[in-house]
Structures are given as structure tokens and as C-alpha cells.
Amino acid sequence: MRPLRVLIADDAVVVRRILTTVIGEDPDLEVVGTAANGILALQKFEQLKPDIVTLDIEMPEMDGLQALAALRKIDRKVPVIMFSTLTERGAAATLEALSLGASDYVTKPANVGSVSAAMESVRQQLIPRIKSLCKRPDSAQARPRTPLVATQPLARALDASSPSGRTDVVAIGASTGGPVALSTVLAALPKDFAVPVVVTQHMPPVFTRLLAQRMDGSMPIEVREAVQGDVLKPGLVLIAPGDRHMCFRRSSMGIVVNLSEGPPVNYCRPSVDVMFDSLATLYNGDVLAVVLTGMGHDGRDGCATLKAKGAYVVSQDEATSVVWGMPGAVATAGLSDAILPVEQIGPKIVLTVTNTARRTQLVR
């Protein structure tokens, strides 16, 4: 199997050297070219036909956003990873890049103290993403070994199912490709949606706040980054803040957010499993859990806990996932009640919540 061909675009010589060295260490990868700005990157893309591109956001002459927009006119499918800074400006630019068609992003090492530490940071963040986006197995992020036997007819059969109990909360987990998928899902939820929605999206601090602000300005339903003590309410979407697990507890006001700095779970903080487990404790099986595109298997074990209590689980299908790691892990484990294209998940949520509410009223 030939190595995956990587094109690097970054105006900083030291960054290009670090990326070239780290990528070159892996026998499955090969740096076929580098560029100091977007114009050169586009020229080399046409010449070299790489399998994947890394784009720095801030470059002279043509920055990463401009290069990405131009690249997507040439090739809509080649994976593109943006290189961003952990700043408000970097976060805003990254979210814009994701909306323009970037596949994922990596944050530049900050305050690491040495070149070797910077290289290790890049190694941990970038290599698994390259392999996942190009569907090359990796020991740390490999797809579940057991193949999913669900065919389209079976997927439609799963879609026809519906929860037998109540739905008191909708919980959504996502990672790679999640912001765009999440936007598609939330756009279908009305302003007066009948139950609370909680979201864990793998993102660092600042990024989650700007993601919530961006969505709140474009969605019918209210969207906010969660803060300690927030009360779960119908018609409100709360997104876990970066670097904090989002758990929940009962109070005199109802179910409230309890943010945690506990250790990462599945290498993630916030973790989808942590959120799902907390909901299982408080809501038993009265939960609609949704697992969207993302690397790894965060959310699988939490779905198992929820399913054991009678919850309903929806997974995004492989065709519409940027990376079918998280939803694939849930589906392969036999935990999915529905496996759907992302554009069908929002309407499915609305239909499910509406139907369970009607059944509850009839029982009462």
C-alpha cells in the first residue's frame, strides 16, 4: 500500500519543518510538497495531486480561508486539515473554515517549551486525523473490526422504529466534522422544542463558546455554551465548554449542569461517555441519544449504559460522516435504533419527541 501523500501549506519555516519531520516519520505517510502561502499551495495541489492538505489559516498573499474556498472549487472531496491557534481569532477563523468545507482542524502547539514537545503535540493531534480522514487504519483510531451488517433496507427498518417510553432530553455527541453536522441537525429543531438538548462536541476552550454563539445566531432554537448551574429547559441547547466534562445533578430548580475537571475519558474532555453516563443516572432510559461524525469511539460505552435502561439511540450513517468512528462504533456494537443520513436526524428527533409526548399525554 503506497503512503498517503500530504501537501503542507504554512508560511512559517519552522512549522513546515516540524510537520515534514513528524509526517515523514510515519511509514504510511509522505510529504510530497510544501508551500508558504495559499497561491503556491493551489499551484502545487494541481501539480502533485495529494491525498490530503494541511492549511495554515494565517498566511501572506492568500490566507488559508481564501485558499480553502479556491481549493473546494477544484476538488470538493480531498480532505483538508486547518492549522489554527488557540485564540478567539483563530477559533473564529477555524469555524469559518469548517463551514467552507474544511474536514478538520489541529491547534498549533502553544507554550510547549521545546521543539520536541511541539513535535509530540503535532504527532498526537495530526497523524490520527490524516489517517482517519483518508480511511487508513491506525492503531490508536482504527475502525471497529466487526463489520456493520446493516444494509440500506435494514437502515430503513431501524428508522421505522420508535421509542416505547418517554423522551425527556436529547443528548448529542460529536467530534471530527461535528460542527457542520450539528448545524444541520439543530436547524430542524423549532424554537419551542419540547425538551432540553445537551451537546458534547470535542473542541477546546474558546472554540465551544464561539461555536455556540455562531449557532445561536443562525438556528431557530436557542443555543448557548453551558455554564455551571445552568438549568436544562425545553427549547434550549447547551454545549459543553471546552476542557470541561458536562455532567448533571438534581436541584430545587430541576436538572442543572455540573461541570467537571475530571480526567479525560477516551482521551477527551469533554467526553460524550461522561455526559451519557450522567444522563443515564438522572433520566434512566428517558433519553434520545444521538452520535454524530467523529474519530474514535467516545459515546459507545455511554450508549450501552443508556440502552440498558431503555434509551433510544440514533447514529449518523457512514456516507454522510466525515469520519465514521464514533457513530460506527455505536452501530457496530449493535446499539443503534436508527442509522441515518445527517439531514434526516433532525427531523427524526422532532418526530420522536413529538410522538413520545403524545403517547405520554394519552397515558396520563
**What are the residue numbers of the active site?**
175, 202, 298
Spatial contact of 23 and 29, defined as CB atoms under 8 Å apart? yes
Q: How far apart are CA 18 and CA 299, in angstroms?
A: 33
Q: How far apart are CA 37 and CA 12, in angstroms?
A: 10
Q: How far apart are CA 155 and CA 338, in angstroms?
A: 7
DSSP state of 328: H
Q: Which of these, 322, 321, 275, lies nearest to 298 by C-alpha position?
A: 275
Please provide residue 41's backbone torsions phi and psi, each rounded to the nearest 5 degrees.
-60, -45
List the grid coordinates of 138.
491506525
In SS3 terms, 128-149 reads as: HHHHHHCCCCCCCCCCCCCCCC
Amino acid letter, residue 290: V
Between β-strands 80-84 and 169-174, what pairing exists: parallel, antiparallel or unpaired? unpaired
Q: How far apart are CA 201 and CA 290, in angstroms?
A: 12
Q: How far apart are CA 114 and CA 348, in angstroms?
A: 49
